[in-house]
């Protein structure tokens, strides 16, 4: 049994170039960058309100605010700025400073008001316009933010950061043409501007112009070969292009720069898994674990890879470590349960799987696996009772309904199997798995026309469903109808699974029904080589030999088919063939 690693998987690059929180922090940093030194007492720049208030008092509170900021006491810093403003309400820089602090504490309305107070004093005060753009961005008012950054450019046409912010906002507004134009304007002013090249690469990636994106990432990296963010994004773009080899190479370069880049290591591990390079992926996750031994996600991935390598004892240790820290993590308990089963510990597996509660994410999967174990142990009725109770706890669950249908099929209770499959189909009429199973049950019930109808629907919904193609073609062949279509269907199935013995047998049987016995024997012999222990395939080969007058070979195949313990109906047919070949004496002629 193979487990597909689902943990996170390859995450998509976030669709927005701009992240509201990031913008707010950028704006905050920019605002703080404009915090100027307060004018010294007696300076010509001093603008105090009231002749009785000495400038030194406003300066004292300004400096106190700066100290509180360095100490991380934002509330006290705001209080000191408020005192400074009460003593000097004509200084726009004080309003910008306090606005930056308001923004840092998510008090956007107060931040807007403080910026506007600064602009009332000086309508062209650039730091206030720039910070107000950041405040609008944080509030989701992107068009207002664009207007503020455009005002910045009116005041200072060479303000490079304003171009970046405008471009990011246009990208968030999905106006990618303006976003790109804005960055090209920036690069016309300064062609070697690192962040301009990087942002342009990101926007081209967003609009899926991957070659253009890579061009600008490369230009950014030419300026700074150790620009980790550009390398990281470039790896993601290579993934989107389907260039797995180059993506792997790029993530390895990121890790050479920064071995602690967990995102790069995780994406690299996922790509190696996709390439079925399990040991290399495991090495990456082990490195990850060595750097951060408590990382739960990495321990889970490591356990899953060890499971796929059939290193069950090591996988068990990883899963138990995780459960010791997070006993309610149902997916890991599920992984532990199936690991124990593979180790031959059915009792332990059942004990773990039964601990997953109905509200748990993996409850349905655990229930199905419990049923699988019980059926393997010949406890099918017990499996049915258990799944029925689970369905009472989780009414209408499609996976559980499907599982009950399979159990009813196993018990030859076909009408009940049909009912449950039809219930599944009611909620998911295009569920090809359930539709295929319904076709199989109808076939077992002898309702060939209904079975054919189901298989035709499956093929219409999923033209590459090899099982449905094969079953439909085989059914036609068995009935001796539409043999040319049967041949085409089975050949298509065989293209999808060229070494499948059962599909190979179907093609041989089509040729048998078309009376092309040499071709039939050729394919039936191959099928028998692929699946030597299937009684039906063995009998088919005997039939082919018999039609080709190879009676000894036919008799040997019939005897071998009997040894393989076929179903009772097939057993009777085989014995009758042997008797007819031997004139009723039952031994080789």
Q: 156, 180, 204: which is the final residue of a domain?
A: 156
3-state helix, strand, coil in the chain (%, to 5): 75, 0, 25
- Per-residue model confidence (pLDDT) at position 20: 25
Distance, CA of 436 to CA of 468 (rounded, Å): 7
- Per-residue model confidence (pLDDT) at position 589: 43
Taking the whole predicted model, whether its pTM rises above 0.85 is answered as no
Total domain count for the chain?
Answer: 2
Identify whether 23 is part of a domain.
yes
Distance, CA of 390 to CA of 392 (rounded, Å): 5
Q: Are 435 and 458 in contact (CB under 8 A)?
A: yes
- Whether 513 has a pLDDT exceeding 60, the answer reads yes
Q: Which residues of 303-316 are buried (b: 16+ CB within 10 A; e: fewer)?
A: bbbbbbeebbeebb
Query: How many helices, marked H, and strands, marked E, lie in the chain?
Result: 32, 0
Identify whether 300 is part of a domain.
no
List own/partner pairs for 315-324 with CB under 8 A and 24 or more apart.
315/339, 316/340, 316/343, 322/296
- Per-residue model confidence (pLDDT) at position 418: 96
Cα separations (Å) of 281 from 259, 315, 510?
A: 15, 15, 45
Q: How confident is the model at residue 35 (pLDDT cuts 50, 70, 90)?
A: very low
CB atoms within 10 A of CB 224: 12
- Whether 150 has a pLDDT exceeding 90, the answer reads yes
**pLDDT digit string (tens) for 203-262?**
999 999 999 999 999 999 999 999 998 999 999 999 999 999 999 999 999 988 888 787
- Per-residue model confidence (pLDDT) at position 55: 56
Distance, CA of 580 to CA of 53 (rounded, Å): 124
Mean pLDDT, to the nearest integer, of 16-20?
29
Kindly report the CATH number assigned to the domain that includes residue 564: 1.25.40.10
Cα separations (Å) of 465 from 87, 475, 496, 497, 506?
A: 79, 16, 9, 10, 15
Mean pLDDT, to the nearest integer, of 557-581?
94
Identify whether 588 is part of a domain.
no
- Per-residue model confidence (pLDDT) at position 260: 77
- Whether 19 has a pLDDT exceeding 60, the answer reads no
Q: How confident is the model at residue 431 (pLDDT cuts 50, 70, 90)?
A: very high
Identify whether 97 is part of a domain.
yes
Identify whether 22 is part of a domain.
yes
Residue whose C-alpha is closest to residue 54's, from 41, 44, 45: 41
Q: In this prediction, what percent of the chain has a pLDDT beyond 90? A: 66
Residue whose C-alpha is closest to residue 126's, from 147, 109, 151: 151
Q: How confident is the model at residue 322 (pLDDT cuts 50, 70, 90)?
A: confident
Q: Are 203 and 183 in contact (CB under 8 A)?
A: yes
Domain range for residue 501?
A: 434-581
- Per-residue model confidence (pLDDT) at position 496: 96
Mean pLDDT, to the nearest integer, of 158-170?
92
- Per-residue model confidence (pLDDT) at position 233: 92
φ, ψ of residue 152 to 5 degrees: the values are -60, -45
Identify whether 198 is part of a domain.
no
Identify whether 308 is part of a domain.
no
Residue whose C-alpha is closest to residue 535's, from 502, 508, 560, 572: 560
Please spell the DSSP secondary structure of 454-480, one letter per residue. Answer: HHHHHHHH-TT-HHHHHHHHHHHHHHT
Identify whether 171 is part of a domain.
no
Helix (H) / strand (E) containing 2: none
Residue whose C-alpha is closest to residue 506's, from 470, 456, 541, 482: 470
Residue 384 contacts by C-beta under 8 Å, 6 or more apart in sequence? 404, 407, 408, 411
- Per-residue model confidence (pLDDT) at position 17: 28
- Per-residue model confidence (pLDDT) at position 584: 57
Q: 156, 179, 207: which is the final residue of a domain?
A: 156
Distance, CA of 551 to CA of 57 (rounded, Å): 116
φ, ψ of residue 329 to 5 degrees: the values are -80, 95
Mean pLDDT, to the nearest integer, of 373-379?
94
Q: How confident is the model at residue 264 (pLDDT cuts 50, 70, 90)?
A: confident
Q: 113, 138, 156: which is the final residue of a domain?
A: 156
- Per-residue model confidence (pLDDT) at position 280: 82
Q: How confident is the model at residue 58 (pLDDT cuts 50, 70, 90)?
A: confident
Q: How confident is the model at residue 56 (pLDDT cuts 50, 70, 90)?
A: confident
- Whether 381 has a pLDDT exceeding 80, the answer reads yes
Residue 84 contacts by C-beta under 8 Å, 6 or more apart in sequence? 58, 59, 61, 62, 65, 94
């Amino acid at each position: 049994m193979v487990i597909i690693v689902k943990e996170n998987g390859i995450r998509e690059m976030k669709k927005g170039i701009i992240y509201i929180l990031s913008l707010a922090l950028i704006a905050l940093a920019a605002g703080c960058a404009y915090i100027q030194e307060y004018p010294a007492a007696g300076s010509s720049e001093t603008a105090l309100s009231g002749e009785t208030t000495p400038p030194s008092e406003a300066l004292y509170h300004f400096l106190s605010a700066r100290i509180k900021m360095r100490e991380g006491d934002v509330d006290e810093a705001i209080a000191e700025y408020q005192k400074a403003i009460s003593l000097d309400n004509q200084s726009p820089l004080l309003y910008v400073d306090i606005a930056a602090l308001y923004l840092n504490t998510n008090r956007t309305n107060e931040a807007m008001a403080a910026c506007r107070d600064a602009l009332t004093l000086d309508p062209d005060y650039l730091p206030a316009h720039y910070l107000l753009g950041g405040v609008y961005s944080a509030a989701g008012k992107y068009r207002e933010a664009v207007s503020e950054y455009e005002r910045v450019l009116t005041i200072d046409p060479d303000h490079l950061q304003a171009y970046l912010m405008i471009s990011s906002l246009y990208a968030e507004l999905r106006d990618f043409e303006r976003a790109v134009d804005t960055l090209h304007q920036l690069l016309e002013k300064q062609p070697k501007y690192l962040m301009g090249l990087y942002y342009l690469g990101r926007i081209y990636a967003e609009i899926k112009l991957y070659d253009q994106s890579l061009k600008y990432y490369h230009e950014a990296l030419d300026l700074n070969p150790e620009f980790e963010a550009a390398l990281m994004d470039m790896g993601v773009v290579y993934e989107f292009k389907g260039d797995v080899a180059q993506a792997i190479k790029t993530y390895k370069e990121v890790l050479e720069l920064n071995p602690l880049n967990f995102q790069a290591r995780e994406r690299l591990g996922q790509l190696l898994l996709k390439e079925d390079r399990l040991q290399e992926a495991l090495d990456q996750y082990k490195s990850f674990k060595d750097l951060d031994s408590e990382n739960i996600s990495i321990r889970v991935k490591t356990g899953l890879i060890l499971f796929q390598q059939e290193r069950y004892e090591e996988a068990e240790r990883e899963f138990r470590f995780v459960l010791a820290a997070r006993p309610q993590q149902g997916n890991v308990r599920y992984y532990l349960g199936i690991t124990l089963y593979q180790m031959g510990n059915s009792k332990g597996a059942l004990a773990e799987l039964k601990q997953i509660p109905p509200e748990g994410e993996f409850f349905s999967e655990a229930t199905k696996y419990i049923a699988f174990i019980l059926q393997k142990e010949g406890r099918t009725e017990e499996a049915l009772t258990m799944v029925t109770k689970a369905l009472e706890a989780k009414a209408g669950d499609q996976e559980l309904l499907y599982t009950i249908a399979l159990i009813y099929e196993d018990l030859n209770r076909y009408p009940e199997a049909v009912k449950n499959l039809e219930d599944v189909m009611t909620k998911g009429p295009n569920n090809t798995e359930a539709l295929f199973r319904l076709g199989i049950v109808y076939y077992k019930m002898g309702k060939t026309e209904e079975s054919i109808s189901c298989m035709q629907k499956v093929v219409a919904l999923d033209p590459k469903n090899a099982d449905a193609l094969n079953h439909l073609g085989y059914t036609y062949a068995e009935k001796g109808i539409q043999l040319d279509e049967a041949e085409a269907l089975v050949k298509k199935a065989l293209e999808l699974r060229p070494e499948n013995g059962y599909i190979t047998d179907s093609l041989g049987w089509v040729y048998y029904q078309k009376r092309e016995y040499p071709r039939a024997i050729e394919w039936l012999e191959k099928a028998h080589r692929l699946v030597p222990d299937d009684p039906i395939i063995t009998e088919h080969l005997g039939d082919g030999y018999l039609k080709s007058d190879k009676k000894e070979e036919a008799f040997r195949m019939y005897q071998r088919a009997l040894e393989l313990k076929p179903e009772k109906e097939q057993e009777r047919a085989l014995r009758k063939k042997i008797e007819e070949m031997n004139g009723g004496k039952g031994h080789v002629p």
